[in-house]
Structure 1
């Protein structure tokens, strides 16, 4: 599934990330208005008890929800908007075709929505339509996959792919720090995506801190259950002995775990990525190789709605001294294991 201004990103799915609960806590109150009612996941965060502000129409445009993480992005946006009596959410059908998504955003611009939230199928390809909205006086909240220029958005919010790999590497490093000649392998995502390269770089940089650990194999999959199973089967056949696996994506991790079960292997620990409900449940059950997952939080879409509402109402972010919302918000890639999985269970996506 994604580029911060520091680590720009794209994503087929952008994928699979929450620490959004902690990283976006200050955003929940940024609009200083009263929510309608309480819903799960990102909406477990507190909202201000002040009276509603002026009515805001938010246009929301994202890619096609062809992946669990992307579907969770849409759900989080809808649920967050539904909390507020002063918000109307105009949501597009979503498309991975850039021309079609541009057309959908232009329709929202023509409707004169108050603010736009855009998760582009391709940040570079959609930069011009972001610029068009900004020039029309419609502020843009750029969600995760970043536009080519900051002139195309007022605020960027998204995940940290480098941080995912870094935290996965340190988690594995701490688990194996006392093991001599430890061996690890990596099941990456699509290698043509910048986000995949960032996750691998973060992982490799973390492992430099553990001289007893060597990465002995890496295989790229395609963020799907089928590819995860096929590529993991190849890794298992080629590597009869290793101590840990870093898998970039919990969706492809479902397939990877099938391959592990079919091979009858239980002699290593596995760390996943993104924060799927199935991964949380497996971690809680603790009867297999999956011991942790590193978040890439889809709750960022809920926070994007908060930011959009604040922008349209001329408010800042609660908890910060500034009168304006930040120019960018990078979410933290928390590691979820058996010790804290209960805290994050409600944020898991299907």
Structure 2
């Protein structure tokens, strides 16, 4: 395990936990996207630690965006008689069948981070308020750019509703500034390497852009690498979204204008607490299925208050 992941794990010790009941036992299965991304790594490890601290066994598995793998992992959870499943779905539509399979087997599913497009299957869907976060980031981006000039956008995975929600949120704000022109938009699937290559091609076609607005930090960090290589980073405004440790380092270094912090450490723990409540009472802790958690802006003014992975202290 590398130093970054050790630091992330160490930071989870400070998370406040709801008192566990004496009945807390059995397995909670946690299924995330790809733990090579620090966001999803944090999501899985926070949920695992929360479950273990409450008395459950817990395991973390990854589907890496593949619905067939996800379906197989759900089958494994059913075979292992999991008391609950914490799932970051692979696909807004394509994951519905896997969730239904678990529900039909009597296992409650608590969705985190990315929604599914069918209501009433999962006991809860706990997600960042992506529209609020996108508007927050876009406003900061406009202020940094100065309200005029050409720019490009890096778009996340089309199978994830968060990608379109963030892009729409950017557009709602940026369209209010007639002197801003979006010259290109490329899908980079939340990936740093794809962000790098897509930025290279957009920069070649649009050498005079003033800024890059990105649907997540990994794509933004890839764009920064491409801009550095081309000698174009000075004066360029790049905005991110997630609040990853690497992105906060880039903010402190003056390479990234800001990142929008998703409270993944909060809602991942909360999903497990709600699962525990349902396991032990048969009732929902929160009646509303879709639960939104507001995002926070991290820029040079408050980056020093970033005290743990995906955690901003007041």
Task: Give the deviation of 1:151 after TM superposition.
Answer: 2.8
Distance 1:97 1:218, change over 3 A: closer
TM-score between both structures, scaled by the size of structure 1: 0.74
1:1-350 equivalences under 5 Å are 40-41=10-11, 44-48=14-18, 52-57=21-26, 58-84=28-54, 86-92=55-61, 94=63, 96-176=65-145, 181-191=148-158, 193-265=160-232, 266-286=234-254, 288=255, 290-299=256-265, 300-314=267-281, 324=286, 326-348=288-310
Partners of 1:231 and 1:272 lie apart in 2 by: 15
Alignment gaps of 5+ in structure 2: 1-8
CA contact (8 A) 1:53 1:313 kept: no
Residue deviations 1:163-191, cap 9 Å, x none? 443222111223345x5x43333222345
Task: Give the deviation of 1:246 after TM superposition.
Answer: 0.7
Partners of 1:305 and 1:228 lie apart in 2 by: 33
**Segment of structure 1 superposing worse, 199-208 or 167-176:** 167-176
Task: Give the deviation of 1:267 after TM superposition.
Answer: 1.6
Distance 1:270 1:153, change over 3 A: same
Partners of 2:219 and 2:275 lie apart in 1 by: 32
Distance 1:298 1:47, change over 3 A: closer
Query: CA RMSD of the aligned region, Å?
Result: 3.0
Partners of 1:231 and 1:93 lie apart in 2 by: 26
Partners of 1:51 and 1:218 lie apart in 2 by: 47
CA contact (8 A) 1:311 1:325 kept: no
Partners of 1:275 and 1:152 lie apart in 2 by: 30
Partners of 1:81 and 1:105 lie apart in 2 by: 18
Task: Give the deviation of 1:119 after TM superposition.
Answer: 2.0
Alignment gaps of 5+ in structure 1: 1-38, 318-322
Distance 1:133 1:336, change over 3 A: same
CA contact (8 A) 1:118 1:142 kept: yes
Correspondence for 1:33: none
Partners of 1:89 and 1:241 lie apart in 2 by: 50
CA contact (8 A) 1:63 1:101 kept: no
Task: Give the deviation of 1:106 after TM superposition.
Answer: 2.8
Partners of 1:204 and 1:51 lie apart in 2 by: 44
CA contact (8 A) 2:217 2:240 kept: yes
